[in-house]
């Protein structure tokens, strides 16, 4: 229906302005009254009639395409009746072709052009193939409004359609990277953020922490209060994560009640401070669908290091820390074992070929003596 509406507006403008082009040549040639009646009916009655036919049809879009093909046939009739007067004939031909290309591409334009040529030749044959190659200034002036206004109208429609496509593309991009329920980054987008943080650590040595967290006993909450309450809790946790995160952090809904936090330029100490703030804020929340309920969360954190194969490895280490937090009684943060500074330097030197493996670490006795 939007397509029909756009075509109706363009047809009304086009045939309304085209009326003056054709009428100026009809006046010049003192055209017969049946031609004038046909022109007036087409210019002023055809647009609403075509719209009504399309709307009432069982296949509106297909009917509108047939209407557009009819427009092309009538264009051929006007060209013949104007005795092929160069300027208005070329103008009508160009605007009709632009319409068809905009609607159905070059193939549709070529297909409808066959009807235009056939109607033009048939009409011209009835008139004896009369040709008038002279375009006086009166016809030029009558064609100017059509020549200027109709291309601007087409451009306006195309601009609106391009904006709509761009808006839909942005919406699809958000949809493909955002979790519907919480508004956080989804799993796919979260892995991209984690990959960037891990790649930056490998290039520059910048610290980064991945935190995995979930809601304690969430299944029991869902069983007791129902899924609306569960959804409310998940949304509230998402809001808490966003409130506590920096602009550079990425909170993610990973799956179910499991969330991730990608914390670039952060060491484990920073993750501990952040997790404490999240736990405190979340524990204070109340829920409309679960009155009297107080929820807690457990967290596992792992710091990025060079030995990690990929993000899956990083996630596995943080997830193992979360599992230990659950075993230790929940409502706490547990961090994965940290690789000390010396070990990092040692691995870096070995990877770069600066130190032999045997000389990489001092003997235990030397370390104790030191």
Residues marked as catalytic: 257
* Residue whose token pair is 């048939």: 122
Please give the full DSSP string across 343-367, using - where no structure is assigned: HHHHHHHHHHTSS-GGGSS--HHHH
> According to DSSP H, which parts of the chain are helical?
2-29, 33-44, 46-56, 60-81, 86-127, 137-177, 187-204, 218-225, 227-244, 268-283, 311-327, 341-352, 364-369
Structure tokens at 20: 């003056």
Contact 210, 304 (CB under 8 A): yes
Residue 261's CB is within 10 A of a number of other CB atoms, namely 27
Q: How far is CA 143 from CA 18, 22, 27, 90, 109, in A?
A: 8, 9, 14, 11, 23
Residues belonging to the chain? 370
- The Cα 298–Cα 296 span in angstroms is 7
- The Cα 239–Cα 281 span in angstroms is 10
3-state secondary structure of 96: helix
| CA angle in degrees (0–180, nearest 5) for 194-196-198 | 70
Contact 297, 320 (CB under 8 A): no
Please give the full DSSP string across 30-86, using - where no structure is assigned: T--HHHHHHHHHHHHTHHHHHHHHHHHSSSHHHHHHHHHHHHHHHHHHHHHHTTT-H
């Amino acid at each position: 229906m939007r397509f029909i509406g756009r075509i109706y507006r363009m047809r009304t403008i086009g045939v309304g302005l085209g009326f003056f082009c054709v009428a100026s040549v009809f006046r010049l040639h003192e055209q017969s009254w049946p031609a004038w009646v046909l022109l007036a009916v087409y210019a002023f009655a055809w647009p609403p009639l075509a719209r009504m036919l399309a709307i009432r049809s069982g296949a509106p879009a297909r009917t509108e395409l047939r209407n557009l093909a009819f427009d092309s046939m009538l264009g051929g009739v006007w060209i013949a009746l104007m005795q092929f007067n160069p300027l208005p004939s070329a103008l009508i031909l160009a605007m009709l072709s632009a319409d068809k290309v905009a609607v159905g591409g070059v193939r549709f334009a070529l297909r409808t052009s066959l009807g235009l040529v056939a109607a033009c030749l048939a009409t011209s044959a009835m008139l004896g193939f009369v040709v008038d190659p002279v375009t006086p200034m009166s016809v030029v002036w009558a064609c100017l409004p059509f020549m200027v206004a109709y291309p601007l109208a087409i451009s306006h429609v195309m601009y609106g359609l391009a904006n709509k496509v761009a808006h839909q593309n942005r919406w699809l991009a958000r949809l493909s990277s955002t979790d519907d329920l919480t508004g956080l980054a989804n799993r796919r987008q979260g892995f991209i953020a984690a990959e960037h943080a891990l790649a930056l650590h490998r290039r520059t040595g910048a610290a980064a922490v991945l935190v995995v967290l979930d809601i304690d006993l969430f299944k029991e909450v869902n069983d007791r209060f129902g899924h609306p309450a569960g959804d409310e809790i998940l949304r509230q946790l998402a809001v808490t994560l966003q409130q506590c995160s920096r602009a550079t952090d990425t909170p993610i809904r990973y799956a179910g009640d499991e969330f991730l936090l990608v914390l670039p330029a952060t060491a484990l100490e920073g993750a501990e401070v952040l997790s404490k703030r999240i736990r405190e804020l979340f524990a204070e929340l109340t829920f409309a669908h679960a009155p009297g309920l107080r929820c807690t969360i457990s967290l596992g954190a792992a710091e990025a290091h060079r030995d990690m194969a990929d993000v899956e490895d990083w996630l596995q280490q943080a997830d193992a820390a979360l599992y230990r937090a659950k075993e230790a009684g929940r409502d706490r943060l547990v961090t994965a074992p940290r690789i000390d500074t010396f070990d990092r330097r040692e691995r870096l030197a070995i990877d770069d070929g600066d130190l032999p493996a045997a000389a990489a670490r001092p003997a235990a006795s030397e370390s104790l003596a030191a």
